[in-house]
Amino acid sequence: MRSLSALVALALAFGAAAVPSTAVHKVKENVVSPRGWTKRAPAPSDHIIELRIALPQPKFDVLEKHLYEVSDPFHERYGQHLTKEEVEALVAPEAESIHLVNEWLASHGIYEDDLARSPAKDWVHIKVPVSLAEEMLKTEYHIWTHDASGDSVIRTTSYSLPEHLHEHVELIQPTTVFSRTKSLKTSFRFSEAQEKSVAIAANAPPISVPSASGGHVDASCNQTITVTCILELYNAVGFKASATNGNQIGITGYLEQFANIQDLQTFFAEQRPDALNSTFKTILINGGENNQTLDEAGAEANLDTQFAYGLTFPTPATFYSTGGSPPFIPDVLTPDDSNEPYTEWLDFVLKQKTLPQTISTSYADDEQTVPVSFAKRVCAGFAQLGARGVSLTFSSGDGGVGDGEEDPALQECFTNDGRNVTRFVPLFPPSCPFVTAVGGTIHVPETAVFFSGGGFSDVFPRPAYQQLAVSKFLNKLAPGTYAGLFNPNGRAIPDVAAQADLFRIFLSGRPVSIGGTSAAAPTFASIVSLLNSARISKGLPSLGFLNPLIYALQATDPSVFNDITTGNNPGCGTPGFNATEGWDPVTGVGTPNFGKLKDIVTFDFADVLTNAAKLGA
């Protein structure tokens, strides 16, 4: 492969393009200047950026059909997940698209040895100087600075392609993406008095919760959430996951969040002593690191790993540390200028033959900051994982119906399209219909926690699997409620919920109390992983894409979820939505009852359907 220095020299010496293109260019994508960002100086011409070129996936509708069939418990193909090779065949671009894009790249002096391709050949990656990228895309890159944080990126608001390529190139990034991926923790505080309060609470009588293990939960769980609290509350006490049946759980980490093993051992010693001296596998992606200096432990990473691995022990566990989201610092010229970490992670995991059956993520962007083309393409990547039998959970957000800012005074509930119209702000990827969005609850008995993110996507239409449940909620709303503030036809979030505050973890050697839907997502994912362990031990496939099953079960046996009917999620100067009977945009269909779910999902649905068909005949 050509060296970057050679490419730089080539671009500077020959005016960026080795072979000038005479093709007529037409604007492929443009966005208005993003609110909250300021355009600074032109981008340095010799700065190297990695362009990602997405080629169309003409058979994606076929993949989507397969996904829904293997995920629908009422379909005869339920659980018959696709292989890696089968998925790749369904997302592969047409040969003509590959040829024409190759021809265009060659016209700019870029050949096969200069690029990398995804296994399905639907993504092409090239590293080029800014000057060459500007020539190829007939655009100008600038340094843009986020006003509130000072973060900077190299971006453009418009780019063009030769007209004949428009139907053969879906998108090119980084160009118009101005999103700022953030972890979703709403409260984080040291609590040195925690131990005393727990000791006092432990003397109180248990709280009666009929759906819990043994019908009660320790009273201390109203002040401090531990592994034991979760197992009691969600009826999972006594279940032993397998260490050897092939089941695995994964946690994603971004933004230099490091999961500290020493803190994990301290956590295990206190809350899961049988797990002491066990650990997890760390996989480094795109320059990700594994800094084990105690002071560098990440609150988000520690929260996710300590509870997920504590709840699912001895299930083999993986932590993905993904780099590539610095952001760019103009005076340092960081070589990897990217804040699109999901694509880096997806690039890696889609290449793997074997994957954890359950993977949780506690990071998101405001949906409106992600170009529609990019959001849809990333969402399609999640669909590929679902088709292969992977369950993906994402935190629904920590700003109620707002944009994720903990302080309502800092929420910016306006459209990002130049109109500055007041609007609720759903988050992406939770708004992707191929993932399971997890909202938050607090206390015992459970009520919706005020920061639980929820609402309706402005990008993705409502999928069929949630049509019945969501329509019932909308029909109960008073006419005109929040008219114009949300899209009543959009994909609705969250799907489910779990405890989301007062989690006791260890961070840099100290006990702390932490909360957010970033706690709820790995908690729900852990329950799913335990269900997968039970299924796999019975010779059944993993649950895979969860949502069709979730809504089918809620419609047929609502007791498998603990319906949350109190609380609301204020934001954008409003009280937000109310938790209510059935699905709601605060807690979804509710929190899990593991015992009841296990009894259902360890049936072989395919056998049940086959026998039913025989009886019918």
Catalytic residues: 300, 304, 518
* 604 in Cβ contact with 513 (< 8 Å): no
* 252 in Cβ contact with 321 (< 8 Å): no
336 Cα distance to chain centroid: 22
Cα separation, 374 vs 518, whole angstroms: 24
Q: How many angstroms separate the Cα of 32 from the Cα of each of 35, 157, 327, 328, 370?
A: 9, 7, 21, 21, 12
Q: Residue 467 CB: number of other CB atoms within 10 A?
A: 12
Residue 563 annotated as binding site: yes
Q: Is the peptide bond before 314 cis (omega within 30 degrees of 0)?
A: yes
* 56 in Cβ contact with 175 (< 8 Å): no
Collapsing DSSP to helix, strand or coil, 460 comes out as: strand
Residue 398 annotated as binding site: no
* 194 in Cβ contact with 224 (< 8 Å): yes
* 309 in Cβ contact with 280 (< 8 Å): yes
Cα separation, 187 vs 392, whole angstroms: 24
Cα separation, 146 vs 154, whole angstroms: 11
* 88 in Cβ contact with 381 (< 8 Å): no
Nearest to 531 by CA among 518, 520, 544: 544
Torsion of CA 534, 543, 396, 472, to 10 degrees: -110
Nearest to 566 by CA among 545, 586, 542, 549: 586
* 494 in Cβ contact with 430 (< 8 Å): yes
Residues 6+ apart with CB under 8 A from 84: 119, 350, 352, 353, 388
Cα separation, 42 vs 160, whole angstroms: 18
* 201 in Cβ contact with 224 (< 8 Å): yes
Residue 505 annotated as binding site: no
Cα separation, 221 vs 422, whole angstroms: 38
Residue 584 annotated as binding site: yes
Cα separation, 394 vs 61, whole angstroms: 24
Phi, psi of 454 (to 5 degrees): -170, 160
Determine the Cα angle at 54 with ends 53 and 56, to 5°.
Answer: 145
**Residues linked to residue 145 through DSSP beta bridges, in sequence order:** 38, 152
Radius of gyration of the chain (CA): 24
Q: Tokens at residue 584, please?
A: 């709601």
Cα separation, 302 vs 246, whole angstroms: 24
Residues 6+ apart with CB under 8 A from 71: 78, 386, 544, 545, 546, 547, 548, 549
Cα separation, 587 vs 440, whole angstroms: 6
Nearest to 305 by CA among 251, 362, 243, 358: 251
| Polymer length of the chain | 617
**Binding-site sequence positions:** 563-564, 582, 584
* Binding-site annotation: residue ranges for Ca(2+): 563-564, 582, 584
